[in-house]
Structure 1
């Protein structure tokens, strides 16, 4: 299927139906040419549409001031909806189940306040061992706020001895064992370190079977792998927009609340002006009346200048389509794996699942020795990848802007790295 030649990569790029999307992004420069950028799982590239999009909002602010909420080219009163509409297909939800607001961990705290309602008997939270630290901190502090000890309230599912990936049957075993005490399951849809994609549908079913809530941190999933959050009956999910969605550093986050919860205006939450029912919002009266949709969790006015880059990027996702992006992503990552198997000068092991259906656009290379030095040599050679302690280089060819040529050039460079120097 794959060939170890530059010609093969060039032929694949010529026939790539998404090849023109690459031209819509700026690449960092290294030694006078485009860097090989395989770090979209950390921060996506800047779409060329962003600058004119920001200029439009600046112009509208200049010309309209407060009346921009109604008279701007994109009226600010509804700005979050310009981002949530394209996300419908990306995450598999209806618009009433989606909102764009705040940042990931802020949204996680807000939704845990609504969905983590522990009792003396049912108070435990199931997480993956080695979850992203921010998720660990959020759950730890939420548990403490309810008067529980994280040591007993938080259960971690870990890989078995000598393994790097979490077995699905081990998740199910813990759910069954803790069925009467489990309040919520909170997993990263993709583990940031190993790149393992969890079966969110089956995990959600198992959670509901014992009366627990299923929530997911989708930071490494949204814009990477197609989702069907509504059909899978996921209770809630949160994500950031600066990775695969290319929303810019610190970009606005997003949240999904299943319609059965979104429509329940009696569900506990923190109230704010922008989450209040629009028909009564400007009456300026006491008494919070949340919208009967995910926007009922919004607190503050839409962050226009923190949403504009995301809006511009999502237009590219709409033209590409998640199905085509996923198809190219699988091919790119499989091609990368094929080439890595021909590397003999440096020693590493790929700890990401071999099955392409169990991973996204990332391969995690575990180095037992000199990994940091090798990553620096990649950087010096014009390759931008991501290092994570204690020993992983994460390589992520994003299908919206990376090419087969990028992957082959990466191989050519690292095949000549002297790991002993």
Structure 2
């Protein structure tokens, strides 16, 4: 099918989002109002057109009511929520995105702050089981968290077990992960892996890995930064112990916006002020009915809300809500995942049909290798392209030439130096035409490079 036929069969409402234009990006053009081709939602999602009003409603409430807006929002008659409970209406929208009960999710803090908070609660080294298993090329922030966690308990780097992609492979296969867990189960206290690997785009088999590890008496948590809003998740049914994620990628809530966390109900459902798993705590995790009595007594809310520490940013919360409402109106994450599979398969088909596609990882001709699994069920929206050959001189390096060529043509993707470009068609706002244009420009640039030699 042509991209126009696919866009007709699997339509998307691009008018719900603000796309950078050639003019706003500072690109010289005879038509500066033309929209860019934005395929970088894996790094920062586009702004929903409904977001400015959602934010301005809260700025207006601040101006009109100041502190009283915590309890008497001036927009209450229009369905707006007073600030004391501003995050609560978001939970019914958020829970289906991650496959959780409403009592298992919360909006709080930032991704790494939440990850640290959850790790300090769930990491319980005992006897020989003192080590943390994670991947060798985890996002650096996660590595820093794991390293400092074991040091807080008096251990050193030897208590970190890193899964490294075997030579000749481009991602971690599930069988290899399970084999490592089985061989070192008596050493591992906790496992924390990414739902989707940020560099390769691999979608880990969360259910299989979680259940296998738990059968070896290992706690399992997930960093879902690149998975939430991207793929279908069933955290409750899969029995995941805990998870953390940001909301500014596929959830389109804005740069540095409030993050989310998941804690399985088995850890919170029967908590009381006399018996609860200890955690980093604050007054927003305490029993809301006595919050302002200022008691020196921690009585945790019997839900993931008990892992909140402070009151959430009102502006951040309504930004997340604005985007999640679009998810709901679009039919939910499962519907969007179906469209995403079609989009990314179309991207793969166009790329692999090119003469510049390098199927053999040892092939060092001009072109690109796809690092991401080719099996659609083992990836999200993103394909990671490794450009070859590599040159140390950035003025000659193929990836640098391609990413700059794309930029001046108004195609926005994401580079990971020295040689990788990540292309991520987001199903909420990208079209098949976007994908076609991006691949056409990639091939066009490679043709220019080839002809110049």
Q: TM-score, normalised by structure 2?
A: 0.89
Select the residue among 12, 20, 26 that pairs with 1:28: 20
User: SS at 2:10's partner residue?
Assistant: coil
Matched positions, count? 412
Within a 5 Å distance, the mapping from 1:313-324 to structure 2 comes to: 313-320=323-330, 321-324=332-335
Whether the aligned pair in 1 keeps the contact of 2:190 and 2:218 (CA below 8 Å) is yes
CA distance in structure 2 between the partners assigned to 1:179 and 1:299 by the alignment = 33
RMSD: 1.3
SS of the aligned residue for 1:63 comes to helix
The reply to whether residue 307 of structure 1 matches residue 335 of structure 2 is no
1:286-322 per-residue CA deviation (whole Å, 9 max, x = no partner) reads: 1221111100011111210122211111100011111
Matched, 1:331 2:342: yes
Change (3 A) 1:119 1:390: farther
- For 1:415 and 1:149, how far apart are their aligned partners in 2? 48
Select 2:387's aligned residue among 350, 354, 367: 367
Q: Distance in 2 between matches of 1:341 and 1:112?
A: 41
Q: Partners of 1:378 and 1:123 in 2: how far apart?
A: 47
- 3-state SS of 1:113 partner: helix
* Contact map agreement 2:118 2:279 (CA 8 A) in 1: yes
Contact 1:77 1:302 (8 Å CA) reproduced: no
How far apart are residue 70 of structure 1 and its match?
2.0
2:442 maps to 1:414: yes
Residue in 2 aligned with 1:106? Answer: 113
Please tell me whether residue 127 in structure 1 is matched to residue 137 in structure 2.
Answer: no
Match of 1:37 in 2: 38
**1:173 aligns to 2:179 (yes or no):** yes
Unpaired stretches in structure 2, ≥5 consecutive residues? 23-28, 74-79, 357-365, 391-397
Separation in 1 of the partners of 2:440 and 2:218?
49
Relative to structure 1, the CA distance from residue 36 to residue 315 in structure 2 (aligned partners, 3 Å threshold; closer, same or farther) is same
In structure 2, the residue matched to 1:157 is 163
- Give 2:370's aligned residue: 350
Aligned equivalents of 1:216 and 1:353: distance in 2?
20
* Secondary structure class of the residue paired with 1:256: strand
Where do 5+ consecutive residues of structure 1 fail to align?
A: none
Cross-structure match for 1:55: 56
Greater shift in the superposed pair: 87-96 or 229-238: 87-96
For 2:417 and 2:440, the matched residues in 1 are separated by 26
The answer for the alignment partner of 1:293 in structure 2 is 303
**Residue 374 of structure 1 contacts residue 419 of structure 1 at CA under 8 Å; is this kept in 2?**
no
> C-alpha offsets along residues 130-155 of structure 1, whole Å, 9 cap, x if unaligned?
011110111011111111112x2111
State the distance in 2 between where 1:256 and 1:262 align: 11
What secondary structure does 2:86 align onto?
helix
- Give the aligned partner of residue 89 of structure 1: 96
TM-score of the pair, normalised by structure 1: 0.95
Shift of 1:264: 5.2
C-alpha distance in 2, partners of 1:144/1:391?
Answer: 34
Deviates more, 1:101-110 or 1:381-390: 381-390
